[in-house]
Amino acid sequence: MQIDRQGNPKERSPKGTGGKLITREFIPQVLTKQISEILTEEILDGALAPGTQLLETLLQRQLGVSRSPLREAFRELEQKGLVVILPRRGAFVREVTTRDVRENFSVRANLEGLAARFACGKLSRQDLGRMQSALAGMKRAGPTKDREAYRKNHQEFHNIFIEASDNRLLIGILQNLRMHRLWYLVSYRVQKLDFQPATDEQHERIFNLFERESTDPQELEQLVRGHIESGLDMLFGAMDDPESIASVAK
């Protein structure tokens, strides 16, 4: 794969990887991080499907990198929960199971509720404006089935109050949980099942509580926690075979 020295992204469909890899100019000092970010994007976007083996020789050739930084990137992806490395077999995009989803939602529901409680009364007018804009973006994307736009606006909406919690440990844990591949898969599935009207109403209630000066932090915490838990209920209630969740991005 050729690298565009002008910094302009190019796309090519790599055989055996299930999608397109975006090439870009690499900076030697942060090579592992750059490789990790590229592969993370491919996994989250569904271009690298669950169970896909990340073939070292193929990726070395496509990205124009050596084995060492590539393997370090694999280890970073394993720490993120996106990849599993099997001895003598290699690195594979991690499969997502029902248990993974239930555990993720349970932890996120409680931690995001806590973040909302910490953020109560701390959002600036600019924060509230961005949150309102993200909410409007979700409402526009829903009827047109623009799942990518919906996902980005949804992520922005939640990230605003998570950051406003001003708790670095909590922010770090939630960023990792929300970045996880299964979050994208679940979001994709929920949006595909056309739950926008219900979820938009919940987000509007959350926004209204953040905007109101007299909001009880405990009420806000419970609302956010219930919002995430209801997403899990909707997901599994609408799926004929919950164990097949990993197939939705194929």
**pLDDT, tens only, 63-96:** 999 999 999 999 999 988 889 999 999 999 988 7
Q: Which ranges of the chain have pLDDT less than 50?
A: 1-16, 18, 181, 191, 193-195, 238-250
Last residue of a domain, one of 64, 93, 122: 93
pLDDT of residue 168: 96
Q: Which amino acid is at 204?
A: E
Amino acid identity, position 150: Y
Q: How far is CA 14 from CA 5, 24, 46, 187, 235, in A?
A: 20, 15, 14, 26, 32
Rounded-to-integer distance, Cα 159 and Cα 234, Å: 22
66 and 189 both lie in a single domain: no
Q: Which of 28, 61, 93 is the last residue of a domain?
A: 93
pLDDT at 192: 53
Instruction: Clarify whether residues 228 and 159 are in a common domain.
Output: yes
* 86/135 same-domain check: no
Same domain, 45 and 88: yes
Tell me if 5 is assigned to some domain. Answer: no
**Whether residue 179 sits in one domain with residue 119:** yes
The two tokens of residue 139 are 């409402």
Neighbours of 154 (CB within 10 A): 23
Q: Within 13 Å of residue 183, how many CA atoms lie on the same side as its CB?
A: 22
CA distance 207 to 164: 14
44 and 148 fall within a common domain: no
Q: Which domain holds residue 186?
A: 98-249
Instruction: Name the β-bridge partners of 22.
Output: 11
Reported pTM: 0.66
Q: Identify how many contiguous H helices and E strands the chain contains and give both numbers.
A: 10, 5
- Judged by phi (left if over 0) then psi (alpha if -120 to 50, else beta), residue 28 lies in alpha
Separation between Cα atoms, residue 47 and residue 145, nearest integer Å: 19
